[in-house]
Structure 1
């Protein structure tokens, strides 16, 4: 009778243990370099569509249009990422975008309001409607999913009632500039220099803060390499857009929102509370933080982003359409998940959500250029959304 010896007793390696270690290393690498992986995915998508369109996809004109299209989803994603980090969801953002864009068109074209009055009123209305959604969810106890679902139907109905189902056009030339205007080339160059200087300041400040609190400081060459890479990207970005018409105004607005929301998330008490609420709601409440007030503010910011997106969308189309914003909520949610925001809440970044929005816009733009049927576009985007959530699941639980 022969005796069986375990792999450990025989001096071998347990296959299951080695597989587990490999899986853990893969998860750590993905968590650390998630944004890099997303940027590589964007580059692969651009290369793929560029080859199929004989370079038309990566032309300066198309990239300018692509970024302009992405800006609307990006604005929604800036607000949605906070909502999801806090453990909530908002399905009404697409309809609210359409409604606020329609209101902007009515005020501008129908009532003849000047742009300096129209824009603030629409922004305030967006904040008020976002707070209304948040009030139902936080203080009345209605699940945010249901509040968003009801808003998706109600806001679309209000829009159809206000517009009588017809397009409101044309809006004024000054309003159109918000969605179709470009920065002068010299202003774009100056902005690139200022952004690069800001990056240098941020890196220097982080190194000083780490030394001050006796934390690990990255090697100097590593930070220098990051700055060189960032500088190359900024130069290529500005040079490409300047070769067509300049930096589009909506893209500038998204970049400004990216900076503001990233600062809120990483440098403010409110930002830390957002992550805390999503990580452990009960512990955050017991620590003395008014979690309902935090969530209410998040929904108010979401309404503000819907207002920005609605204004830009109306200006880009030069008209208020009753179908504007259709499926916008799904694009925003997908952008957040693709960008690494956890479906469980408590984790996510604004810049990751914007890269996710760029992925979605690139797929839309590329498949449209190839004249892919609409149903195939929906299938591809739906599959990518499921894949993004699956990656989040395995990166946190170790499942295969």
Structure 2
């Protein structure tokens, strides 16, 4: 049986950030007199930071390849917003077709940037910096410096719509569809964990003791159901949360359970060794940037829907939020280490800090300073822990 100490050591970054998130939430809950975790504010917290969650997922994959980042994601979000606005507002193009065009454009831009980075081997920093300037310029040119608004109502529902309650609340003010989904997810989670434990035992791998295993299961199931109960007290499950949830699930499975996903870690750990073992590292790097551009397009669509406009100033500092979320969530600045779930935890830390400080009336200058300090501490923790493990 694996001890609690060993488990904590193996997952120190994730557990440390999870504990930090809980502490930060508890502090702001007290400091804001309970406003932070009001059901309506919890929903707003998710929707306001939806673009960070999506960009952090894509940024995690690029960082895994060797500490590479993408500086162009904010400008690309703005460009996608401008294209979607021009098509749907000015040209009255069907919303579904508009979104498809936006995603295809994301693929094309990803191919463009990925080619220079992966096959010509121009540093990713330079290529994406050029992309940041190029896409911002194209956005301003397309919008002629003006803001386009409003979007059609069907487009707005991407970020402002909610899943209807099929149970009609059973005569209460609660959304029982949200409660049912929470229970369903809990059963799925329990099944996956039990199956994983049984498989590990049969294979002869070390497993955690039963008490710790059950404590973890009960704790996570409690948090899942508490979260969905909180959603049920407002309007239920936001459509934006469904999109984010699907992305988290798909990319978590991709990075942990598939061969191409493990290639990312192998390349980030040692690219030369990965090449010698038969991995096409150029292709891995290329596809990670194509993927990043597609997720940037998704984030651009969601953000435009959220603010209900296409603005030349949209997407400012989005890349910094995404990068910070990844590093705070446990990704290594050297590559090869990091998880999708960790990036989401990092994004939540950033989101709670933003939301909590805004409620308290703290100025944007201090907010930026505090977030910068949190990022520095997170990366310093990564570097120090690496040195200790080597020693």
Scaled by the length of structure 1, what TM-score is found? 0.90
| Pairs aligned (count) | 376
Q: 1:135 maps to which residue?
A: 115
Please say if residues 127 and 302 of structure 1, whose CA atoms lie closer than 8 Å, have aligned partners that are also in contact: no
Of residues 40, 44, 55, the one that matches 1:65 is 44
- Give the whole-Å Cα distance in 2 for the aligned partners of 1:377 and 1:30: 32
Asked whether 1:224 is paired with 2:214, we answer yes
Q: For 1:1-400, what aligned pairs fall within 5 Å after superposition?
A: 29=8, 31-87=10-66, 88-184=68-164, 185-398=175-388
> What root-mean-square deviation, in Å, do the aligned CA atoms of Structure 1 and Structure 2 show?
1.9
- Compute the displacement of 1:365 (Å): 1.1
2:345 partner SS? helix
- Give the whole-Å Cα distance in 2 for the aligned partners of 1:234 and 1:211: 27
- Give the whole-Å Cα distance in 2 for the aligned partners of 1:359 and 1:162: 35
- Give the whole-Å Cα distance in 2 for the aligned partners of 1:229 and 1:250: 26
- Compute the displacement of 1:190 (Å): 3.1
- Compute the displacement of 1:70 (Å): 2.0
Please say if residues 186 and 225 of structure 2, whose CA atoms lie closer than 8 Å, have aligned partners that are also in contact: no
- Give the whole-Å Cα distance in 2 for the aligned partners of 1:48 and 1:387: 19
2:49 partner SS? helix
Please say if residues 181 and 228 of structure 2, whose CA atoms lie closer than 8 Å, have aligned partners that are also in contact: no
1:40-87 CA-to-partner distances (Å, cap 9, x unmatched) read 212222222222222212211111111111221010000000100111
Please say if residues 130 and 304 of structure 1, whose CA atoms lie closer than 8 Å, have aligned partners that are also in contact: yes
- Compute the displacement of 1:344 (Å): 0.5
Larger Rg: 1
1:105-139 CA-to-partner distances (Å, cap 9, x unmatched) read 22211111222211122112112212211111011
- Compute the displacement of 1:29 (Å): 4.2
- Compute the displacement of 1:398 (Å): 2.3
- Give the whole-Å Cα distance in 2 for the aligned partners of 1:287 and 1:225: 40
Give the direction of change, closer, same or farther, for the CA distance of 1:47–1:389 in structure 2 (3 Å limit).
same
- Give the whole-Å Cα distance in 1 for the aligned partners of 2:10 and 2:207: 20
- Give the whole-Å Cα distance in 1 for the aligned partners of 2:347 and 2:248: 12
1:332-372 CA-to-partner distances (Å, cap 9, x unmatched) read 00000000000000010000000000011111111112222
Please say if residues 105 and 168 of structure 1, whose CA atoms lie closer than 8 Å, have aligned partners that are also in contact: yes
- Compute the displacement of 1:27 (Å): 11
1:214-267 CA-to-partner distances (Å, cap 9, x unmatched) read 212333333322221111111110111111111222122111111100000010
